[in-house]
Amino acid sequence: MDYEELAEELLRLRTQQFKSGMWRQTLRLARGELLALYYLQCHDGGVYPRELSDEMSVSTARIAAMLRDMEEKGWIVRQEAPSDNRHVLVTLTEEGRSEMRRQREKTLDSVSAALKALGPEDAKELIRILNRLNEICRDHI
């Protein structure tokens, strides 16, 4: 089996997928402002910008710009950390929570429709294979 040829085909398919609305929406949840919203939602007490930078693998300058935009949209608030007024703590607002819910529901609807179109066996097999690929990448690559 020519694994390099299969890898080329996989890359080609992934490029085509990212042109579809469903995959674009999924990508939005996995990066940028929506990833930051998700991370903040999972860390209810707030986070330091440095944590977001590390989690998202982007520069602190990029995080600062993103947080400014998110604050203008009313999704987050930045305030002095109670334990150290030299640091800023970022917390999610109710408007930010609502935006996260809206985007998540939109993505779930889209992905659910695609999985339904695959049918139950293929949908389960796709999830199984993606989980296996994630395990391999996490453990070996």
Provide, rounded to the nearest whole percent, the portion of the chain with pLDDT above 90.
Answer: 45
> Residue 45 has what pLDDT?
80
Provide, rounded to the nearest whole percent, the portion of the chain with pLDDT above 70.
Answer: 90
Those residues whose C-beta lies under 8 Å from the C-beta of residue 75, and which sit 6 or more positions away, are: 33, 37, 92, 93, 95, 96, 99
> Residue 28 has what pLDDT?
61
pTM > 0.75:
no
Domain 3-140 has CATH 3.20.20.140: no
pLDDT tens-place string over residues 84-98: 778 899 999 999 999
> Residue 29 has what pLDDT?
55
For helices 21-29 and 32-42, the axis angle rounded to 10 degrees is 50
Model confidence at 58: pLDDT above 60? yes
pLDDT tens-place string over residues 15-56: 777 677 666 666 665 568 888 998 999 998 889 999 999 988
